[in-house]
Amino acid sequence: MIPPTHPRYRSLLEREKIVEGAREGYVALQGLIAQGRGECFDYLIGEETQPFAQRAIEAAAAALLAARRPVISVNGNVAALAPGDVVRLAKAVPALIEVNLFYRTREREKKIAEILRRHGAEEVLGVGEDAACTIPELFSERRRVSCRGIYTADVVLVPLEDGDRTEALRKMGKTVIAIDLNPLSRTARAASITIVDNVTRALPRLVEAVENLKKDRSQIQDILARYNNSAVLAEALLHIKTRLEKIASEML
């Protein structure tokens, strides 16, 4: 039991969710490593949603609302950390939800779909025979996607993604929105819009941004035209540099 007064309460709670998901067999063991890497970058950015992330969140909301066929891709870590937010976002846009796993097994697919249904999802794509289409140029199990979902989507939200698939989806002409704490990752660089933030903070803010933008859709094209992903990534790196310099100077 982690006491709520613990200075790292939130982070420790999230770690527990991932460990629990691994114990229950729907988080991949590699997901534990991914979480650790994420925690490290979260430390560096200051464990708060920074202005560059908020700008990307607003652009992501605009892209999702402008889409004809938006799809939210869900893996084991996202199912453990933010299943309710995924469902809320899918309803707000509205968007389809698809289970898409790097380390795909039938058992994990089913468990993740079940968790999403328990959180209110009506339909979950990408389970069993539904993952019948193939993303070209990919060799991992992640190449299998739903023909009604990611395969035909124009905008795909991929929280915690691997670089190869992001690149492959871009080559298919799709707009890819990534949520990745590591601004240096190939995913972050290959995505059309990269939210450098923790999925647990970014997803609720994305739901809020979608709800706000829905009230005045006239801003959507303007937000998309103004958005520059390289500038957002550069800002994330400079934020880390400045923050570390400040902390170091306070130690001297």
3-state secondary structure of 27: coil
Site for ligand PTJ in 137-166 (CB under 6 A): 160, 162
Query: Residue 19: which residues within 8 A CB-CB, separation 6 or more?
Result: 32
Q: Is 217 annotated as a binding residue?
A: no
Nearest to 82 by CA among 164, 163, 27: 27
Applying CB under 6 A, among 11, 17, 31, 97 the residue interacting with ligand PTJ is 31
Count other Cβ atoms within 10 Å, centred on residue 158. Answer: 25
* Token pair for 144: 């299998």
Site for ligand PTJ in 173-212 (CB under 6 A): 179-182, 185, 198-199
Burial readout 175-198 (b: 16 or more C-beta within 10 A, e: otherwise): bbbbbbbbbebebbbbbbbbbbbb
Interaction mask 37-76, ligand PTJ, x per CB under 6 A: xx--x---------------------------------xx
The reply on whether position 118 binds ligand PTJ by CB under 6 A is no
The piece of 35-43, 122-130, 143-151, 228-236 that touches ligand PTJ (CB under 6 A) is: 35-43
Q: Is 180 annotated as a binding residue?
A: yes
The reply on whether position 116 binds ligand PTJ by CB under 6 A is no
Size of the site for ligand PTJ (CB under 6 A): 24
Nearest to 142 by CA among 179, 112, 98: 98
Residue 154 Cβ vs ligand PTJ, minimum distance, rounded to whole Å:
22
Q: What is the full DSSP assignment across 34-82?
A: HHHHHHHHHHHHTSS--HHHHHHHHHHHHHHHH-SSEEEEE-HHHHHH-
| Vertex 137 angle, CA 136 and 139, to 5° | 105
* Token pair for 217: 């859709």
Q: Which is nearer to ligand PTJ, 96 or 220 (CB)?
A: 96
Q: Is 199 annotated as a binding residue?
A: yes
The reply on whether position 86 binds ligand PTJ by CB under 6 A is no
Q: Which is nearer to ligand PTJ, 52 or 102 (CB)?
A: 102
Provide the binding-site residues for ligand PTJ, judged by CB under 6 A.
Answer: 28, 30-31, 34-35, 37-38, 41, 75-77, 81, 101-103, 160, 162, 179-182, 185, 198-199
Q: What are the binding residues for ATP?
A: 15, 37, 180-182, 186-187, 198-199
